[in-house]
Amino acid sequence: MQVLSVTPEIFPLIKTGGLADVTGALPIALAAKGVIMRTLIPGFPSVMAAIKKKKPVLQYPLLQGGKASVQAVRLAGLDLFVLDAPHLYDRPGGPYGNPSGADWPDNWRRFAALSQVGGDIAGGAIARYQPDIVHAHDWQSAMTLAYMRYGRAVAVPSMMTVHNLAFQGQFGAGIFGELELPAAAMALDGVEYYGGVGFLKAGLQAAWAITTVSPTYAQEIRSPEFGMGLDGLINMRSNDLHGIVNGIDTDIWNPETDKHLVSGFTAATLEARAPNRAAVEERFNLDRDESPIVCVVSRLTWQKGMDILATVVDGIVGSGVRLAVLGAGDAGLEGSLLAAAARHRGRIGVVVGYDEGLSHIMQGGCDAIVIPSRFEPCGLTQLYGLRYGCVPVVARTGGLADTVIDANEAALSAGVATGFHFAPNNAGALLHAMRRLVDAYNAPTVWQALQRQGMRAEVSWDKSAEKYIELYRSLLSRRVS
């Protein structure tokens, strides 16, 4: 089975969030089960820099305003088609915005181009390569499925995975003329969305199957609260909607062999976490004592509930924990967390920025990780936490609810608890969860049981890769019949 994955991000080449971890890990998990996944990505500077020898397999004299080509390369163990289009992607800053963080005004063009090429490849544009299935991720590649539907690949089964419904790629109707789609596509059951053009909406409409990254989120997005304007369409397509929880790359995230750690450890050698803990204390200027260190590794945004955390930091410190925060995002939230750190020297440390290595040390050295997301399609940091004995404290929503088992009396006595849930998601409930955490931490046998049970939890891609394959197979059988 040959699957073409189309995505704006893939770890380790280009990453802003969990999407990259998923698109980077899935091909490897699938390969182990005999499914070949090739991935089409934009030729961002970091990607082009990694290509030693260009090998064009498709050329465009003119693609959305400039010359472009598709390079077939193998990088970091991944089979890639890289869309080399300097007029669209050779820019400073992140994948979506300029160095000061503002979105590029022509993002619609940049990702329509990616999708157009995805549609072309699906339709057989590359010699000796015909994918059996096309799998698109998020709004940036969602239009691939529209280009397939209105082009030459209408018979190729397609899957749309929603990693976060909050990002929809919604643009004015004025761009439609430049998308090179037939006029009929500008319709209610096509790409039209609230009078404009909706990229994710178009993908959801055209996809043979829709998946999202946890069963609970798959249910939640059917409600107006989580559906963000798309709940009507999602309900209409509910027969084709599936929730498959993300796994993690258990080779990269292996506490025994992780090169980022000061000291490797296993569930049998939890005491070997101590040097990592000391490294966290040092890096975050925390007091050296025996109180638990709770960490945050997150985008600092409203979705992640960082404003809720910011309002309750004084109470958290009062409950006896130390807080280590690594994150970047909203300037206001960065500022209020830095102010909290200044107010509580030794009890709160904040590093503003993105630091992959430090995130590993935190998971391997802190006692717990708090994730107060307002909504969380899946979430990965709680899975890293489980694997590293860093007990997750999570808002009971989306994938957080699906992957962490609350340490209530029943779960504790059954020996299955792996963390703490809180609901509703507000300051009072978060603080209450912190107090529960401190109580458990002060009972070492309970605490170590939580850590060990978490470390035993199934967080690899194995089962989820099977589920994707099952779905791919069911789509293929629909094609035949």
Q: Which residues bind ligand ADP (CB under 6 A)?
A: 17-18, 21, 297-299, 326-328, 354-356, 359, 378-381
Residue labelled with tokens 């077939």? 72
Q: Least distance to ligand ADP from the beta carbon of 242, Å?
A: 18
Q: Least distance to ligand ADP from the beta carbon of 160, Å?
A: 17
Q: Least distance to ligand ADP from the beta carbon of 359, Å?
A: 4
Q: Given the complex with ligand ADP, which of 166 and 412 has the nearer CB atom? A: 166
Nearest to 426 by CA among 294, 332, 299, 307: 307
Q: Least distance to ligand ADP from the beta carbon of 276, Å?
A: 15
107/182 Cα distance (integer angstroms)? 21
Nearest to 140 by CA among 35, 74, 42, 44: 42
Give residue number: closest CB to ligand ADP. Answer: 18
Q: Least distance to ligand ADP from the beta carbon of 328, Å?
A: 5
Q: Least distance to ligand ADP from the beta carbon of 343, Å?
A: 22
SS3 content of the chain, % helix, strand, coil (to 5): 40, 20, 35
Q: Least distance to ligand ADP from the beta carbon of 371, Å?
A: 8
Q: Given the complex with ligand ADP, which of 70 and 337 has the nearer CB atom? A: 337
Q: Using DSSP bridges, classify how beta strands 158-162 and 196-198 pair: parallel, antiparallel or unpaired.
A: unpaired
Q: Given the complex with ligand ADP, which of 381 and 451 has the nearer CB atom? A: 381
Q: What is the dihedral of CA 334, 336, 339, 345, to 10 degrees?
A: -80
Q: Given the complex with ligand ADP, which of 299 and 435 has the nearer CB atom? A: 299
Q: Least distance to ligand ADP from the beta carbon of 181, Å?
A: 30
Which tokens is 412 given? Answer: 């504790």
Instruction: Give kind and range of the element (H or E) at residue 309.
Output: helix 306-318
148/185 Cα distance (integer angstroms)? 12
Beta strands in 92-240 (DSSP E): 133-137, 158-162, 170-171, 192-193, 196-198, 209-212
Q: Rg for the chain (alpha carbons), in Å?
A: 23
Which tokens is 51 given? Answer: 């290509």
Q: Least distance to ligand ADP from the beta carbon of 467, Å?
A: 18
Q: Given the complex with ligand ADP, which of 85 and 465 has the nearer CB atom? A: 465
150/446 Cα distance (integer angstroms)? 58
Q: What is the dihedral of CA 341, 344, 348, 350, to 10 degrees?
A: 10
Report the DSSP beta bridge partners of residue 17.
none
Residue labelled with tokens 């063009």? 109
Q: Given the complex with ligand ADP, which of 133 and 340 has the nearer CB atom? A: 340
Q: Given the complex with ligand ADP, which of 21 and 84 has the nearer CB atom? A: 21
Q: Given the complex with ligand ADP, which of 247 and 327 has the nearer CB atom? A: 327
32/462 Cα distance (integer angstroms)? 9
Q: Given the complex with ligand ADP, which of 175 and 352 has the nearer CB atom? A: 352
Which tokens is 254 given? Answer: 């292996």
